[in-house]
Chains A and B, each alone.
Chain A
Amino acid sequence: MQQETYKPGEHPDLPPPSNTIGPMAWIRENLLSSPTNIVMTALSAWFLYEIIPPTLEWVFLDAAFTGENRDECRAKAAGACWAFISERFNLFTYGFYPHESRWRVDLSFLLLLIALVAVLWDRAPFRKQGLYFACAYPFIAGWLLLGGYGLEPVETDKFGGFMLTLVVGVTGIAFSLPIGILLALGRQSDLLAIRLFSVGFIEFIRGVPLITLLFVASTMLNYFLPRGTTFDLLLRVLIMVTLFSSAYMAEVIRGGLQAIPKGQYEAADAMGLKYWTSMRLIVLPQVLKISIPGIVNTFIGLYKDTTLVIIIGLLDPLGIGRSSLADTKWTGLSNEVYLFVAIFFFISCFGMARYSLYLERKLETEHKR
């Protein structure tokens, strides 16, 4: 190609050379840039070829979707027996919640969805009302699920399955963030009593496994409470799970607080802003933004830890799955059960992870020129 010449100061902006843009350039750069890279690409392609077709076959093509029991399934196809899951689907979803009241669970799922849209999507229609609704949601959902005040009361030991996971997960997520923020601020407080309490709480909770706390919640708490008082087991679990992840949350937030330049605090002070105002308007928005990966990490950890409630006899989807496997009609179908439960958790957790990435990009104001 002929090299154009320009006078000094008159060189125009030219497009980049054509071999550095487009899909071919992308492939060359990312898949075939060096001998090692070529070998890795070939190995990966072979690996995917070995894994994907058999999996698809087992899951979809060679699977039985109907049948009364394991043997009927096996007679139809050599792959997965999804009839088992569809027969147990209601159990997986509602646990032992009374049949005639399951519409209340459905309604609270639906309302949860509406509240989530309002909270997560800042251009949602009627967002302001939606946010008020989201604040009221825990009470509405509590009323719907527990009953009373005109609805048939349902004991919490009937809760189970995905519904139990969502109750524990959403409650823990909703309350651990604010409590964690308060603990992190408390840890930095000038007041010795508040600082000692925060440090003591965080270090104690972090030093003890969640399972231990759940055992304490399920058994030992009875010794400390006055004789005859009953304290709902699910409520104890909710409190323990929330406190447990709020201690981790506090440390995530503390990391964020330390990353905020001192000048931000000084500018806020110099303007005469009061402590809570400058925290709310200046410090915390920046802290939460940079802490998003850690916060969502803690959320995901909490969400998956809800499966530990099986230890104290509550049946989450994993527990339902294990007890279903004991049914002689369906023995030996553990692959189907665990894959099904895994998919449910994966969708929830992957959704949280992707949302956090979206949020990080949306809030990026610092370097967008």
Chain B
Amino acid sequence: MNESHNNTPEADSAQDFAVTIRNMHKWYGQFHVLKNINLNVVRGEKIVICGPSGSGKSTMIRCINRLEEHQQGDIIVDGTELSNDLRNIEVVRREVGMVFQHFNLFPHLTVLENCTLAPIWVRKAPRAEAEETAMQYLERVKIPDQAHKFPGQLSGGQQQRVAIARSLCMRPRIMLFDEPTSALDPEMIKEVLEVMVELAQEGRTMLCVTHEMGFAKTVADRVIFMDEGEIIEENSPEQFFASPKHERTKLFLSQILEH
């Protein structure tokens, strides 16, 4: 464990979990976005979160690395409780990788520089070592030949694979995916999903907000359905798709699976 390991009893009981969220609430001003979220993610578990737009699913996973602040309840990530303590936030962000809908690559840096930035400046890795690691991961996402180009010269699918490689370079224990394929052209979705399926086979904890139900069926250990800021239903993918319990889940599934 790391140096800022939290020794409160709550944190101890959360140690077996990669992520623990307890009675968590969040408001945007008056608007209650997340209502009493409870979620335990076992180490190595792959979780797919789906739900209609505006249901709070992105907000929830963004709370896990504190891109969004929660106002009530506890979030414990890898044994570290997220509070206003900046050191804890730093520890969590070092261990949690994130892939965004719009890639958010740094346009003024080459692909390789995008990948080595955090290892060099956050992990204090020597440049040569960081570059070697970066090339390894770029190979894993099958674009080592683009290493010296700028993000703007790549297609959307390639950019998203770079973004995945960039997160992996920090060797995170937990990966968050926030609608990684939603901004992509249809013919590029597959190449990104293939990379994600490969990653899923490696034992890293993954939380993925996505509407790719095929992906959910292949890799998810658990599917979570959210609506209007609440977790409505959670189940194994087989159960979730075959026999959804809640009316809203049925409606949502019928809408996205129709065509």
Contacts and interface: CB of A to CB of B under 8 A. Distances in A.
Interface of A: 261, 263-264, 266-267, 269-274, 277, 281-282, 285-286, 289, 363, 365-369
Interface stretch (B11-19, B47-55, B98-106, B211-219): B98-106
Interface stretch (B21-29, B114-122, B127-135, B242-250): B114-122
Given A271-B93, A366-B150, A368-B150, A266 B104 contact: yes
Given A263-B102, A267-B100, A270-B98, A286 B118 contact: no
Contact of B100 (A263, A274, A277): A263
A129 B100 CA distance: 41
A267 B104 contact: yes
B152 A273 contact: no
Contacts of A274: 90
A282 B96 CA distance: 20
A273 B90 CA distance: 8
Interface in B139-169: 150, 152-153
Nearest to A364: B152
A351 to B, nearest CB: 25
Name the residue in A272, A285, A367 with the highest tally of chain B Cβ atoms < 10 Å from its Cβ. Answer: A272
Nearest to B176: A270
Interface residues of B, number: 23
A271 B170 CA distance: 8
A274 B96 CA distance: 15
A263 B106 CA distance: 10
A281 B94 CA distance: 18
Nearest to A269: B67
Nearest to B170: A271
Given A267-B100, A270-B93, 13 more contacts: A261-B104, A263-B100, A269-B93, A271-B93, A271-B122, A273-B117, A274-B90, A277-B121, A363-B108, A365-B108, A366-B107, A366-B152, A367-B152
A191 to B, nearest CB: 14
B65 interface: yes
Contacts of B108: 285-286, 289, 363, 365
A261 to B, nearest CB: 8
Contacts of A266: 67, 100, 104
Contact of A365 (B102, B104, B150): B150
B121 to A, nearest CB: 5
Contacts of B100: 263, 266-267
24 contacts: A261-B104, A263-B104, A264-B106, A266-B104, A267-B104, A269-B67, A269-B93, A270-B96, A270-B97, A270-B98, A271-B117, A271-B118, A271-B170, A273-B121, A277-B121, A281-B121, A282-B117, A286-B107, A365-B107, A366-B150, A366-B152, A368-B152, A368-B153, A369-B152
A260 to B, nearest CB: 10
A366 B150 CA distance: 7
Interface string B65-78: 10100000000000
A272 B93 contact: yes
Minimum-distance CB pairs A-B, first 7: A272-B93, A267-B104, A263-B104, A271-B118, A365-B150, A270-B98, A366-B152
Contacts of B65: 269-270
Contacts of B106: 264, 267, 282, 286
A369 B93 contact: no
A313 B163 CA distance: 60
A281 B152 contact: no
A183 B23 CA distance: 41
Contacts of A368: 150, 152-153
A81 to B, nearest CB: 53
A368 to B, nearest CB: 7
